[in-house]
Amino acid sequence: MNAAKRLATLNRIRKLSRLMDTSIRIPLTGFRIGLDPIIGLVPGAGDLVSTAFSGYIIFLATRFGIPRQDLVKMIFNVGLEAFVGTVPLLGDLFDAFYKSNIRNLAILEQHLMAAEPELEKVDSELYQSQASQV
């Protein structure tokens, strides 16, 4: 996969992670939640859908050749959130605070900074060129 496709995949992971975990700011508090705890309010199916989104994010992360120990951490994060998420209401509160997708994004970005620093350079150059067009 070339640098442009890798960057597009990374940005897809970023967007999905933020959508699921931090896309909505709660007024007057500054606290952010995403669709994950909201979808989780639907008994049974909600947690399954949220876990499927998280699984897709992990699937995309595997395209970067993430090390096994990092992959295990990512799967643990999603598994823990899915397991605790099955508890009515308490699980949804846990989802709102734990934010497994953002944690997994941080694991992936840390791996990429060490393994592919040139990708960060391409990312910052692209960001600067987009900012100058605005």
pLDDT beyond 90 at 119: no
How many beta carbons lie within 10 A of that of residue 54, not counting itself? 25
The percent of residues in the chain predicted with pLDDT above 70, rounded, is 88
Residue predicted with more confidence, 126 or 98: 98
E strand intervals along 1-134: 24-25, 32-33
State the pLDDT at residue 112: 92
pLDDT of residue 79: 96
- Beta-ladder partners of 25: 32
105 has a pLDDT exceeding 70: yes
Confidence of residue 122 (pLDDT cuts 50, 70, 90): low
Contact (CB, 8 A) for 123 and 13: no
Digit-coded pLDDT (tens) for 27-63: 999 899 999 999 988 887 888 999 999 999 999 999 9
Domain boundaries, the chain: 3-133
38: which DSSP letter? H
* Neighbouring C-beta atoms of residue 4, cutoff 10 Å: 10
Nearest to 83 by CA among 53, 50, 108, 107: 50
Indicate if the alpha-carbon torsion angle 69, 65, 56, 118 is positive or negative: positive
The pLDDT mean for the chain works out to 88
**C-beta atoms surrounding 52 within 10 Å:** 11
Residue 6 · residue 119 · CB < 8 Å: yes
State the pLDDT at residue 127: 52
